[in-house]
Amino acid sequence: MTRPLSQMQLASATPASPPLYVAGIGVGLAPTSQTVSEAAEDLQLDAGAQKMFSRLFGFATLPYEKDAPFRTLLQTAVNDLARTWPDLGAVNRVYHCHTLPSVRLPDTPLTAECGPATEVSSLGMAHCATGVAAFKLLEHCLKPQETALVLIGERAFHRRIRLIDDTTIMGEGAVALAVTRGKGALRVLGSHVTHDGCAARSRGHPLEPPQVGRDYTSFVAEHLTSAMSRFGISVDCPPDLVLPHNVNMVSWHPIAKAVGLSPKSFYLRNVGRIAHCFGADPFLNLLDAQKDGLARPGQTVLLTSVGMGLSAASLLLRIEGTFSPSFQASYE
């Protein structure tokens, strides 16, 4: 009698796919920006809140363009990617990673240069963690001969979207990632995603209980601890750099302490430069960390992002090359 193979046996019987690589990154930032005081005026924040965001949370400037169409932000990132990675015609899959709930793809010819058989999908429900969490899906779905275009970005088009009270102010930025198997500048060593539904019904309404604030630090610390264990790293042998999302400057210090990592290993310079650009933060931070000489070939970096819900996602990369996208790219 033949017995069915177990999942473990199936996994061991299936030839391993080549590892995932990020082969290119393109950037789109709003071509104009606001100071914290200008943003505070738009958001009707009082003087105390303005001081909190600037002096305590570390915000200085925020890329922001009022009333600009969403499609230009992503298109700019795709155009930037095409300048350094001209193989868009080889893309088989396009994944648009939403921070905000959405029922359709953006109204933009993003896939015009892709092949006629390109499959286009929309990912969401992990909020700001969706872009990093997408790599868990790519590990399972991307075939050895395929290339994926991953789009991450949002516009801060409404006050309720731009502002999370006592927590963060959103900037406007996007990234376009070319993900392949077997070759590229960034090798994916592992991905890890954690969900906790304690705040699944939280929509930012002022009458809802502040569940996210109560559970946030312990949730993220537990996620990072489990991610490091999964990746085979520890506080005794940590990653060379942690690239978190830019929710604010102070929230990462108690998390680092709870995990046992030095706060100095967290790249927080972009909190003041570009604020919290939804799900694009860790990848924008990676590029700037390379510019700053803090993320070099041969090093490992841990990208981490957290979304309301709660969801958290981490991605461990080994740097095997560098990128040179233009952070000054203007809309075309």
Domain for residue 14, yes or no? Answer: no
In this predicted structure, the answer to whether residue 199 has a pLDDT above a threshold of 90 is: no
In this predicted structure, the answer to whether residue 5 has a pLDDT above a threshold of 70 is: no
CA 220-222-224 angle, 5° bins = 70
Given 138, 161, 181, which residue is the final one in a domain? Answer: 181
Domain for residue 111, yes or no? Answer: yes
The domain total for the chain is 2
- pLDDT single digits (tens) 73-93: 988 999 999 988 888 878 999
Average pLDDT over residues 134-154: 93
Q: What is the mean pLDDT of the chain?
A: 85
- pLDDT single digits (tens) 32-45: 999 999 999 999 99
- pLDDT single digits (tens) 8-36: 333 333 457 899 999 999 999 999 999 99
Do 196 and 172 reside in the same domain of the chain?
no
Do 169 and 198 reside in the same domain of the chain?
no
Do 259 and 166 reside in the same domain of the chain?
no
CA 31, CA 39: separation in Å to the nearest integer? 16
The two structure tokens encoding residue 173? 């930025």
Do 205 and 168 reside in the same domain of the chain?
no
Supply the pLDDT for residue 202: 57
- Answer positive or negative: Cα dihedral of 167, 171, 172, 173: negative
Q: State the first-to-last Cα distance of the chain, in angstroms, to the nearest integer.
A: 65
Q: Which range marks the domain in which residue 55 is found?
A: 20-181
Whether 240 and 266 have beta carbons less than 8 Å apart is answered as no
Residue 242's domain is classified under what CATH number? 3.40.47.10
This prediction's pTM: 0.88
Whether 114 and 93 have beta carbons less than 8 Å apart is answered as no
Enclosing H/E stretch for 270: helix 269-274
